[in-house]
Amino acid sequence: MLRHLYIIAFLLLTLPLVSHAQCKGFTKKKCIPELGEYVFNGQLNTAVLTRGEEAELMLSFYSGQKYRMYVCAEEQLGEVEYEIMDIDRNIIYRSKEKENQLFDFKVPSTQQLILHVIVPGEGTKHALEFQGCVSILVGFIED
């Protein structure tokens, strides 16, 4: 019985590490190339999410640069949506309205923006519900 508890504890501790490694590989192979001529800023922002979950991330942007933001998700999660908001939570961009996961923009001055990611669908309490990787990438070009 004690041996089974050790095995369960080991699995619970190692699964997040496996998920992170899989997310990293997915991001490098499938997502970063989509930035095109924009230089990846090197910050790997990933999350493992299920249907019905949301996540927020605050990012800094600097004047004098053009940016490309890309939210990349594993196909099994469906069409992941995102919103970009200013610090007062005013919506600047909504991917659902544009039907595009790429967003090219410039900021008039250095500022922080909030990225709100939404995985549509109803979550379930089922133990085997699919979890998928969502990656938020930022590329830049000097203006």
List the chain domain ranges.
2-142
pLDDT in tens, 56-97: 999 999 998 999 999 999 998 988 999 999 999 999 999 988
- CA angle 22–35–39, rounded 5-degree value: 100
Those residues with Cβ within 8 angstroms of residue 28's Cβ, 6 or more apart along the chain or in another chain: none
Highest mean pLDDT among 2-11, 21-30, 64-73, 114-123: 64-73
What's the rounded mean pLDDT across residues 9-38? Answer: 71
Helix, strand, or coil (residue 34): helix
Indicate the CATH number of 2-142 among 3.40.50.150, 3.40.630.10, 2.60.120.680, 3.20.20.70.
2.60.120.680
Minimum mean pLDDT range among 49-58, 89-98, 117-126, 133-142? 117-126
- The structure tokens 């410039």 sit at 106
Share of the chain above pLDDT 90, in %: 64
